[in-house]
A = this chain, B = another copy of it.
Amino acid sequence: MLTNKRKIINDPIYGFVTIPNALIYDLINHPYFQRLRRIKQLGLTNLVYPGALHTRFHHAIGAMHLMQEAVLNLKQKKIVITADEENAVLIAILLHDIGHGPFSHALEHSIVKGINHETISSLLMDKLNKEFKGKLTLAIKIFNNKYKKQFLHQLVSSQLDMDRLDYLKRDSFFTGVSEGVISSDRIIKMLNVVNNELVVEYKAIYSIEKFLIARRLMYWQVYLHKTVLSAETLLVNILKRAKELSANGIKLFATPTLKLFLITDFAKEDFENDSALLNEFANLDDYDIMASIKVWAEHEDIILSKLCSNLLERKLYKIELQNSAITAAYKNKLILKVCKLYKITKKEANYFVFNSLVNNSAYLANKFNITILMSDGKLLDVAKASDQLNIQSLSKTVTKHFICYPKEIV
């Protein structure tokens, strides 16, 4: 019954989001998708920005809403998009993050190694496609850039896709970092298609610049915020320790599903060959992790219990973030202090002193570029169309090195 399933969802950002048809309604109600309600979009960012509790569920719905607007706008500009294509591109964006696991990126390589969320998204979409009797085939083609109308894929995944437009707006809204606000309205109104490629009309050039700057700002002010890095490093180390103890036969409280992933390291092939395993993964969410961590805070392994209670009580690592690499000597000095203070081995101290690096480019000059449609009809890469070369400089990758260690040793 289509009419019955035509529903609206409240969104503090867009007002109302309309679910356009019964198929999409059923996808949203599928347990795989409902699960996203229990996966925070921004991992542990809420420890710094307490409002940042929004979920992958809300983001996926929001991105679908922007896609509806983008398609409407392109059709008004006489770009041909059939009803089937429209439906497929909506489904593709709706499901683009379906493979995310607990705390999104924060644990992406901790729970299952060597498999990113895109791979799992793809496997889950295939599984859903069987369940829905092939109705997702076109959506999957678009998602994987196998469909002739490339611009549809670009709307789902490129440097100016509906994913980014939604997450910048949403993350900005819930963190309260108002500087991340972008004008998705204006950008969407200025989208066009030339030679099967998604382009932006010249009028929007300043909005695009602003969008790139906003994205960069959000990276350094939110996504790679020192304290967020520190918290997520702690979380990664907790999982690592829990897996290590499990591997050594030490018994740990955990939900049955989490236990499975603590004990075994699965490979991509395992997921491909074992549909039940995929279902198990699709049963994991933030709650499995945090409920277990709360119990582990009382575990007799003092490394595990200390890491866990630190997270729960927000006693985060001190973190230093710098342009140059962390020297081995400096790290070693910190390790020794920790060994002495906690009476643990050097190997164990690596759970408390930890270094790595993060990097970000606001714009990648050679991958799904943002193309500007000039007033004279020519196409130009945004890095060339801009007046002040800002965007060229934004293309540089910025790398920062960081080291975390307990505040107590300072």
| Chain A interface residues toward B at CB < 8 A | 8-13, 15-16, 29, 31, 34, 37-38, 46-51, 53-55, 57-58, 61, 173-179, 181-183, 185-186, 189, 206-207, 209-210, 213-214, 216-217, 220-221, 253, 255-257, 283, 285-288, 290-292, 294-295, 298, 312-314, 362, 387-390, 392-394, 396, 398
Contacts and interface: CB of A to CB of B under 8 A. Distances in A.
A280 to B, nearest CB: 11
Given A10-B177, A283-B294, A54 B53 contact: yes
A14 B318 CA distance: 28
Contacts of A181: 178-179, 181
Contact of A176 (B15, B175, B313): B15
A35 to B, nearest CB: 8
Contact of A10 (B49, B61, B390): B49
A166 to B, nearest CB: 13
Given A34-B314, A213-B210, A189 B8 contact: yes
A170 to B, nearest CB: 9
A213 B209 contact: yes
A284 to B, nearest CB: 9
A213 B220 CA distance: 16
Given A206-B217, A390-B390, A183 B178 contact: yes
Given A54-B51, A186-B16, A294 B255 contact: yes
A12 B11 CA distance: 15
Given A10-B50, A12-B51, 15 more contacts: A10-B177, A16-B189, A29-B313, A34-B314, A37-B46, A50-B57, A50-B58, A50-B61, A178-B181, A179-B210, A181-B181, A209-B217, A220-B387, A388-B398, A389-B393
Q: Label chain A's interface by main secondary structure.
A: helix
A257 to B, nearest CB: 8
Contact of A34 (B34, B48, B185, B312): B312
B388 A394 contact: yes
A9 to B, nearest CB: 7
A213 B213 CA distance: 8
Contact of A31 (B10, B206, B295, B312): B312
Contacts of A362: 388
Contacts of A48: 10
A298 B279 CA distance: 13
B176 A11 contact: yes
A186 B294 CA distance: 35
Contact of A174 (B12, B214, B393): B12
Most buried by B among A38, A210, A214, A389: A210
